[in-house]
A and B are shown apart, each in its own frame.
Chain A
Amino acid sequence: MSKRITIDPITRIEGHLRIDCEIDGGKVTKAWASGQMWRGVEQILLGRDPRDAWAITQRICGVCTTVHAIASVRAVENALDMEIPVNAQYIRNLIILAHAVHDHIVHFYHLSALDWVDVVSALKADPAKTALLAESLSTWKGNSRHEFAAVKERLAGFVGGGQLGVFANGYWGHPAMKLTPEVNLLAVSHYLQALDIQRKANKVVAILGSKTPHIQNVAVGGVANSINPDGQSVLNVERLMAVKGWIDELADFVHNVYLVDVAAIGAFYADWTGYGAGIMDYLSVPDLPLDGKGTQFALPGGYVPGGDLTKFKPITRFGDPFFKDGVEESSKHAWYKGSGPLHPFKGETEPEYTDFQDNGKYSWVKSPTFLGKPAQVGPLARVLAMAAAKHAPTLKYLTQVLDTASAVAGTKIPLAAVHSTIGRHAARAVSCSVQVDELNNMWHRLVDNIGKGDIDTFNKPEFPKGEIEGVGFHEAPRGVLSHWVVIDNGKIKNYQAVVPTTWNAAPRNENDLPGPYEMSLLNNPVADPERPLEVLRTVHSFDPCLACAVHVLDVDGSQKSTVHAGCFSPSYQCEIGS
């Protein structure tokens, strides 16, 4: 008999993500992804000054504050067809990159590694063997026998004292956990080291953004940082040198720990390269503009239909009609009024709530499409586009992660393996490696430009009479983020944010085709419906910006038991922020 499990929100503020799966013969046969809360943040913006939108939209999400600020100012600048100083691009790019590196490290180690790593098993590890294994993979300074022994002792203290704290409620001992005690100890040690290293990325954001969380330095027309190499309270040489120091520490960790860990852990879970592909039409956008108008970018992006790199079509500039005209959103299966897919400039957010209807409306998330089809966004889409564009650093790290995983697994893992649950983690590590290098490159670009005597950071925007519209896109950590604004006589007339998690958590669309989460869950194994770890692995691999916990229901709908598990919430308030 098939069984239905529901992964539903339990948070202080109801809402967030709900995943329903029908399970038959130990596999998922049908899946629904449902956003359980209506925000309508766009409504708050109507009638406001477009220059204020970025400060308001960055409050949409707790984790991705900066990304909404960036997409918002880009949308307004695009509507005004204005150019901004290159220093402003470089400073924004540095913030974008530091935020992305922070986000990827935290997602892997602190939000999703525990789907794969059994913390309690690490207590059985031999620190000497762990050190031997670690040294065979990397030269990282934190891989000593002494370090692993100390972590094991600390962990024993927590477990012995019943104080698991952040490690409470895990699926310890679940049959789907496959790592040896030594690999578990290695991963737990790096989990703790990552707690320290992620702070460096945050410091970069804080120095350049004036404040974190919620950067203060962005403005329509540039940034508010004033540059003076010799000044006291501005962006000066001392602060720039501090930023460089943190960038170097981050690069060491990402290249020698994160990328290696993902490859090694992935090798133990090679069977997971066979699950979770789902939608293989991938969408990303280029980012890190190098000129004032956004016609040249450090990192390419575009559309990879069917996962076929030879069919890659790049998106080449801000406002590129290929992107701008390609996006639509359907409300057929979402709790909104209106019929037919609408372009975001014409987007409506008038609610029409029904119950959860399997074949009708069941989500507050709309269903976006690109060229009429669902698309997967995120690090995997980004890495595939960059590989298709023959971006050399991407190809280097992609080869490295596959080679390391192949060596540990003792079998050749092909590129096609990235279209999977574990592949999304590998792609995120590759992306992070590329981004941490770009952080260094961007720092040099900024310093060189200041060295030439250019200290401009802001061009004043002028709003015309009448109606204008613009789109701002940004390749955020979780994928394509776009803000769409219609401005009438200098006031916001319509505003729509199409966020990465909307793409991936989309419900069925106008043609009743499932979205990326829904497709990726099909045929996922589920060993124990009471503890659906495998479902969480696949959902988490997308890095959803949503929260949930698990209820297990019989097919007749009566609740049988409640299981704490669930996705993460970066904070209890975050719905479909990014």
Chain B
Amino acid sequence: MRIVVLGVGNILLTDEGIGVRAIEELGRRYQLPPEVELIDGGTSAMELLDDLANCDLLIIADCVRAGKTPGDLLRLKDEEIPALFRTKLSPHQVGLPDVLATLVITHEAPTHTVLFGVEPESLATSMSLTPVVAATLPHLVDAIAQEISAAGVAVTPC
């Protein structure tokens, strides 16, 4: 069993950094066994191809605009993800959705993918989360930990 937890987003743009903050917090609050890998993906794309290849479960934490109330937490699994997340904008736009699409053509796609998205309040230039999104952070981290446990890998709070 290989589980990758990927936090994506830009920590310079307020709530855009929630995914990265979740990875940092998860590592601080939980003891994770070696089969769980935490990756701060930042805003990268192709650099992640190798890290994301051939995992059994990919958990993505990200800031997602779904037209909900700021701070709302969203969980999508496998085929639920494409509609919101994997919309291709152009043949040249290499973002995370493209990396996942590329893993399909190289036959290395994750067996299962879970996306946790948090609705942002602000994407202004700042390195701190807004209070409403910061309040969601512990719930997001717990939800990721539960997801790992549900996959049969034990995680324990520090």
Interface size on B, residues (CB 8 A): 37
- Give complex CA distance A195, B48 in Å: 11
Q: Which of A56, A60, A62, A203 contacts B45 (CB 8 A)?
A: A62
- Assess A566 versus B50: contact at CB under 8 Å? Given A59-B11, A195-B106, A573-B43: no
Specify the main secondary structure of chain B where it touches its partner. Answer: loop
- Give complex CA distance A334, B158 in Å: 51
B76 interface hit (Cβ, 8 Å):
no
Q: Which residues of B contact A205 (CB under 8 A)?
A: 47
Beta-carbon nearest neighbor of A211 in chain B: B40
Q: Is A567's CB under 8 angstroms from B12's CB?
A: no
Q: Which of A43, A59, A111, A566 contacts B94 (CB 8 A)?
A: A111
- Give complex CA distance A96, B126 in Å: 28
Contact with A along B86-125 (1 / 0, CB 8 A): 0011111111101001101110000000000000000101
Q: Is B43's CB under 8 angstroms from A549's CB?
A: no
Q: Is A199's CB under 8 angstroms from B49's CB?
A: yes
A483 interface hit (Cβ, 8 Å):
no
Contact with B along A153-171 (1 / 0, CB 8 A): 0100010000101111111
Nearest-Cβ distance from residue A430 to partner chain B, whole angstroms: 22
Q: Which of A13, A43, A170, A536 contacts B123 (CB 8 A)?
A: A13
Specify the main secondary structure of chain A where it touches its partner. Answer: loop
Q: Which residues of A contact B45 (CB under 8 A)?
A: 62-63, 570-571
A213 interface hit (Cβ, 8 Å):
yes
A10 interface hit (Cβ, 8 Å):
yes
- Assess A65 versus B105: contact at CB under 8 Å? Given A167-B91, A568-B94, A571-B96: no
A114 interface hit (Cβ, 8 Å):
yes
Q: Which residues of B contact A168 (CB under 8 A)?
A: 88, 91
Q: Which residues of B contact A43 (CB under 8 A)?
A: 125
- Give complex CA distance A570, B41 in Å: 13
Contact with A along B1-24 (1 / 0, CB 8 A): 000000001111100100000000
Nearest-Cβ distance from residue A62 to partner chain B, whole angstroms: 3
Interface size on A, residues (CB 8 A): 60
A44 interface hit (Cβ, 8 Å):
yes
B154 interface hit (Cβ, 8 Å):
no
A36 interface hit (Cβ, 8 Å):
no
A 277-328 contacts with B by CB, 8 A: none
Nearest-Cβ distance from residue B77 to partner chain A, whole angstroms: 20
Q: Which residues of chain A have a CB within 8 Å of any CB of chain B?
A: 10-13, 39-41, 43-44, 56, 59-63, 65, 102, 106, 110-112, 114, 154, 158, 163, 165-171, 192, 195-196, 198-199, 202-203, 205, 211-214, 536, 540, 547-549, 564-574
